[in-house]
Structure 1
């Protein structure tokens, strides 16, 4: 990072709210993150409140006037909701349609019916990857657990051999692929191109999931032999439906927003003429908001009406889809506020100034920062948003592809070694009937593998693109 980058950043930024030097700003960052960690892990405070108080602590330590800190936080919060909030809502609607229409069950049953015993772990990865595209991790986990337990029981498989691939697919999608909240927020904060990030994210996710899923599960199944609790298999949504959506239509609906966003990125690269009518059309339908909106509208027919659901039921499904995401949206919004306080206090300038002579690659630094916050807070979303805010200045002057790779480096770091301060750790432990040690040997190690392999793929791509 050169002095020119620092000058460009100074010219582009509004006046700073703090005149603190690098040392004081560094202490302010540590204080802000420490407040986050203590409030989340010790006092079990909701991440939204922790991020809000952490932002105030950071600004106060940086000797910034608190009224300006509040304004900065509010500005970042509003901007994040405007850019990411609607996308999260639309993604949640699409995911709810997929689950309640029986479309997810149709995907699962179709793939499992065609999979051989040998290919079953690979089938579970495929199922998890498709189903997880529009679903949050916790929802996808609850949806797939019955499948994992049924397949393990009927086929006499180890639960770990079948479950780890499904968990790997879910987790990788959650950390690397938009429209999941973490990647979306990082794209907004770092100002990355969504289509290119999505394309590169898929390239990174494939080898990452293969190594962390089917391949690792071979060894994990040898280390841990567990029997899930009885009566844990809940009723599947399609069990109460007279019919289910068609498999091909369901898959096409799930992939529609991804295809539209990738098409926009491809057209922008090939045509590269803003006046071209074809590119203007692609820019509109490939816009994340429009792409997801189209998918939701199409899903009302290909998923909802195909399952025999009436207008009233579909209206209820869409309404119910918004309640579970309120907490996630507030966390993401507060993360945007935290990021804005970092920027307005001058932390971006400080990071550029301090790291300009370092030999450590920016992508590796981004991953390490996300890893530290993930280990400390237990939240992949908090780690992604906080780390993105810290490393965003490093993207100044990078190419479009490398900015997207920085988003993926942060996303990979946010997955690292989930342990006892992560809600996902306890979900997996409970569903699979494992003790803490067994959960660490399987789930935690798998998350570490996904993170490290993801970083390796990102660094390799940085040498190629």
Structure 2
């Protein structure tokens, strides 16, 4: 199951597992998050245990039966590991193949040779934006992490100076640009024109990613001046390699899942017929799991065998790639469990109930609703789906351009301030070796900048279109 499927199922959750009123739910959310932050920061408890305990506390404060809370948490954990977890594992294998074969070194050496120190953050945001166009955020992360960490290490850069532009490129594409699932769902819900939304999305995305990426990374690097974590840095291949794979074939291997997913997205848009034979094929080969699996299998030949790996060494590389991500998988899974518990106690509906009587302009209303649901549930896609469904009636009578801007306002709001209830928060924290406070000062602030700058440009465009 892909992360889109998981989050759509979450958005369509059944009746809440508690009969608590909105006031009690609001208190429960704040209390649950406080428990998680306190356990991690003051008591130094492992994030997996803190998220598990925080989820149980959330259910208890909301008055949900313990058995239902456990079921919600377990369901969310299982769905997240089944979707995102498998992608992380495949990405880790591909990353290890890149590292051990010398392919990652080849890419890094080429980037360092071609880009100056001043232009490096801009090179990273460009690479991330291109790779992130058709990919789920989590897939983009696991594909880019080896390159980001190696560039930071070998170029002696602060990790934030290189990492923030890459994260910004991926995040902006995920929230604002079709064919990503969130924008596509919103386009369908409000009846927007795909081409107009894509065009205006690029107009909004370009200045947004510049401000949140290369520009903000200057400040993020001062606030959190850390180096790439040694345990996550791909090790240099030993000198007994017969040869290193070429730059072109290495990049082609990395971009293979990107190309497969992009083909699927384009066929879905152009054909738009689930019964069509071509679309059935592309739906399979373009699914994140199959696309990454294909890249891993191809990488065994284009990277491993090209470097002279034997079958035994290939097997050893795969085995060694999985051990470092065990903790990450558990933490990301527990984050998904906490998110599902939030959804199942009815927090999303609580936000929708509060927002119905807000008397403000449609574009700003759409953004605020998406922000509130994002803060409460931690899911950008759930925030997009819920907000789009609520404001869809407002699209009646809007011009084509303003309907597209409505979609972009929702997308911008869905990215606001990622924190402890977002699996992406824990993914970034663990990969970059940061603590909770450092992750908030960098990743969470970056997401907020994307959201705020995005809605500002949406509102500015609404004045001239």
Corresponding residue for 1:394? 387
Query: Which of 444, 449, 453 is matched with 1:452 structurally?
Result: 449
Deviation of residue 112 (structure 1)?
Answer: 3.3
* Structure 1 runs not aligned, ≥5 long: 1-8, 150-158, 179-185, 374-382, 417-421, 430-435
Report the more deviating stretch, 90-99 or 394-403.
394-403
**Residues 212, 165 of structure 1: alpha-carbon distance in 2 compared, 3 angstrom cutoff:** farther
Find the residue that maps to 1:413 and give its secondary structure: coil
Alignment partners' CA distance in 1, 2:446 and 2:258: 26
Alignment partners' CA distance in 2, 1:205 and 1:173: 9
Deviation readout 1:191-223 (Å, 9 max, x if unpaired): 899xx9xx99x95776545445555678999x9
Deviation of residue 38 (structure 1)?
Answer: 1.2
Alignment partners' CA distance in 1, 2:97 and 2:208: 28
TM-score (norm 2): 0.69
**Residues 287, 250 of structure 1: alpha-carbon distance in 2 compared, 3 angstrom cutoff:** same
Alignment partners' CA distance in 2, 1:10 and 1:85: 17
Alignment partners' CA distance in 2, 1:278 and 1:119: 42
CA contact (8 A) 1:94 1:134 kept: no
Corresponding residue for 1:298? 298
In the alignment, is residue 361 of structure 1 matched against residue 365 of structure 2?
A: yes
> What are the within-5 Å matches in structure 2 for residues 14-29 of structure 1?
14-29=14-29
> What are the within-5 Å matches in structure 2 for residues 114-129 of structure 1?
114-115=114-115, 119=119, 122-123=122-123, 125=125
**Residues 292, 459 of structure 1: alpha-carbon distance in 2 compared, 3 angstrom cutoff:** farther
> What are the within-5 Å matches in structure 2 for residues 156-305 of structure 1?
165-172=161-168, 175=171, 207-215=207-215, 237-238=236-237, 240=239, 241-305=241-305
CA contact (8 A) 1:342 1:390 kept: no
Deviation readout 1:47-97 (Å, 9 max, x if unpaired): 221221111111111111112211222222222222222122111211221
Equivalent residues, number = 403
Deviation of residue 128 (structure 1)?
Answer: 7.0
CA contact (8 A) 1:136 1:174 kept: no
Alignment partners' CA distance in 2, 1:83 and 1:448: 26
Find the residue that maps to 2:304 and give its secondary structure: helix
Alignment partners' CA distance in 1, 2:110 and 2:330: 37
Corresponding residue for 1:6? none
Deviation of residue 100 (structure 1)?
Answer: 1.9
**Residues 313, 174 of structure 1: alpha-carbon distance in 2 compared, 3 angstrom cutoff:** farther
In the alignment, is residue 33 of structure 1 matched against residue 33 of structure 2?
A: yes
Alignment partners' CA distance in 2, 1:366 and 1:119: 34
Alignment partners' CA distance in 1, 2:447 and 2:64: 39
Deviation readout 1:291-341 (Å, 9 max, x if unpaired): 111111111111111122221111111112212222222122222222222
TM-score (norm 1): 0.69
Alignment partners' CA distance in 1, 2:294 and 2:432: 36
> What are the within-5 Å matches in structure 2 for residues 333-352 of structure 1?
333-352=333-352
CA contact (8 A) 2:16 2:344 kept: yes
**Residues 342, 123 of structure 1: alpha-carbon distance in 2 compared, 3 angstrom cutoff:** closer
Report the more deviating stretch, 347-356 or 357-366.
357-366
Alignment partners' CA distance in 1, 2:219 and 2:79: 45
In the alignment, is residue 90 of structure 1 matched against residue 90 of structure 2?
A: yes
CA contact (8 A) 1:164 1:214 kept: no
Deviation of residue 121 (structure 1)?
Answer: 5.2
Find the residue that maps to 1:63 and give its secondary structure: coil
Alignment partners' CA distance in 2, 1:167 and 1:191: 29
Deviation readout 1:254-295 (Å, 9 max, x if unpaired): 111112112111111111111211111111111111111111
Corresponding residue for 1:44? 44
Alignment partners' CA distance in 2, 1:10 and 1:116: 45
CA contact (8 A) 2:93 2:322 kept: yes
Find the residue that maps to 2:155 and give its secondary structure: helix
Alignment partners' CA distance in 2, 1:335 and 1:446: 16
Corresponding residue for 2:151? 144
**Residues 140, 408 of structure 1: alpha-carbon distance in 2 compared, 3 angstrom cutoff:** farther
Deviation of residue 106 (structure 1)?
Answer: 0.7
**Residues 314, 61 of structure 1: alpha-carbon distance in 2 compared, 3 angstrom cutoff:** same
Corresponding residue for 1:433? none
**Residues 112, 397 of structure 1: alpha-carbon distance in 2 compared, 3 angstrom cutoff:** same
CA contact (8 A) 2:100 2:317 kept: yes
Deviation readout 1:341-376 (Å, 9 max, x if unpaired): 222222222121112223453434544776x79xxx
CA contact (8 A) 2:10 2:343 kept: no
Alignment partners' CA distance in 1, 2:220 and 2:52: 39
**Residues 134, 300 of structure 1: alpha-carbon distance in 2 compared, 3 angstrom cutoff:** farther
